[in-house]
Homo-oligomer: A and B are copies of this chain.
Amino acid sequence: MFENAGQRTELSSIGEFGLIEIISRSVKLYHPETLKGIGDDAAVILNSEEVTLITTDMLTEGIHFDLSYTPLKHLGYKAIICNLSDIYAMNGTPKQVVVSIAVSNRFSLEAVEELYAGINLACNHYKVDLAGGDTTSSVSGLVISVTAIGTAAKNQVVYRNFANENDLICVTGDLGAAFLGLQLLSREKKIFQENPSIQPDLSGYDYLLERQLKPEARKDIIDQLMQAGIKPTAMIDISDGLASELFHLCTQSGTGCRILENRIPIDVKTAGLAEEFNMHPVTCALNGGEDYELLFTISPADLEKVKALKDVSVIGHITRKEEGLKMEDPSGHQIQLKAQGWDAFFRENK
């Protein structure tokens, strides 16, 4: 995939220090409290009176991404997004990221620059400082590890484990689209591999592809919640599918839940493609990963406020633990939810 990129500069010709130098040149810092970014043994961050939030995620080639259909720039962007999403899910503001990559010698300098172009684009979009990292070799695939650092006022942090009985369950955006975007890319890759003369037909699927390849983190929702004066009682980002996240939130809060199937927000494109694949759209929303939407619970007293927010759906409420995790279908049947979500180990062993 890098053959078309024109120039190819071997990483071995510039060495690790040369690579760090090149990466550093394109970095802009947005926060005066980032006292020292790239270039020392550690980044130095001036503390505020707020708390510090730290989250980390690792993406490995062949498990989390397939470079035959993932542009490196998108991959860099997404690697940042999935970490920022975790900071927003604490009701915080991401401020810095440190990024480590391991690349094999099949990657050129130009390929690494593409990756960092995406990283820098995400940093610029969300005003986050790329404050350090590590660049090293791998024997085979590409590995990206990102740690995001954020802040929040101590009393504004929203954990997973404080949902209460009768709290309303909200989700942002729509679910299942990223998963179906991935199914589409996998299908077209397979067709192409079987017959290289057939061009991939991805027209009309822009929304699903973008959800898979270039997701966004819901900063806008955190801003809206703040403006509306709503502090969720519990929150988690939806990276492994709604069912998994409900499982985490309810288990940690010591509660059950009841959601209504027809309240789960699913885009019409998602529903259409799911049927093409003979999948139930709701199954994709429950178990498909990488949506990077937010799942949160609010006090029933905040219902009117939350109704006024854009792009938020109320899908059910928190119940007592004994009632378990239930979904009610349109005919009134109660279905037991299982956290069988997207799981890298599961995926690997399919």
Contacts and interface: CB of A to CB of B under 8 A. Distances in A.
A9 to B, nearest CB: 13
Interface in A1-53: 11-12, 15-17, 19, 35-36, 39-53
A47 B49 contact: yes
A344 interface: yes
Given A56-B100, A345-B15, A64 B252 contact: no
Interface of A: 11-12, 15-17, 19, 35-36, 39-64, 85-87, 89-90, 92, 96, 98, 100-102, 105, 131-134, 136-141, 143, 145, 147-150, 152, 154, 157, 159-161, 235-237, 252, 339, 343-349
Q: Residue among A53, A98, A152 with the most chain B CB within 10 A?
A: A53
Contact of A344 (B35, B51, B136): B136
Contacts of A60: 102, 136-139, 143
11 contacts: A12-B348, A16-B345, A17-B339, A35-B51, A39-B252, A42-B90, A43-B55, A44-B52, A45-B52, A56-B145, A105-B349
Nearest to A86: B41
Nearest to A56: B98
Contacts of A105: 345, 348-349
Contact of A343 (B17, B57, B148): B17
Q: Residue among A40, A63, A138 with the most chain B CB within 10 A?
A: A40
Contacts of A53: 42-45
Contact of A62 (B98, B139, B161): B139
A137 B63 contact: yes
A90 B41 contact: yes
Given A54-B98, A143-B102, A44 B89 contact: no
A75 to B, nearest CB: 15
State the number of copies, please. 2
A81 to B, nearest CB: 14
Contacts of A100: 56-58, 145
Contact of A132 (B55, B62, B87, B137): B55
B61 A139 contact: yes
Q: Residue among A44, A50, A59, A105 with the most chain B CB within 10 A?
A: A44
Contacts of A86: 41-42
A49 B49 CA distance: 8
A237 to B, nearest CB: 6
Contacts of A15: 343, 345-346
Contacts of A148: 42
A123 to B, nearest CB: 15
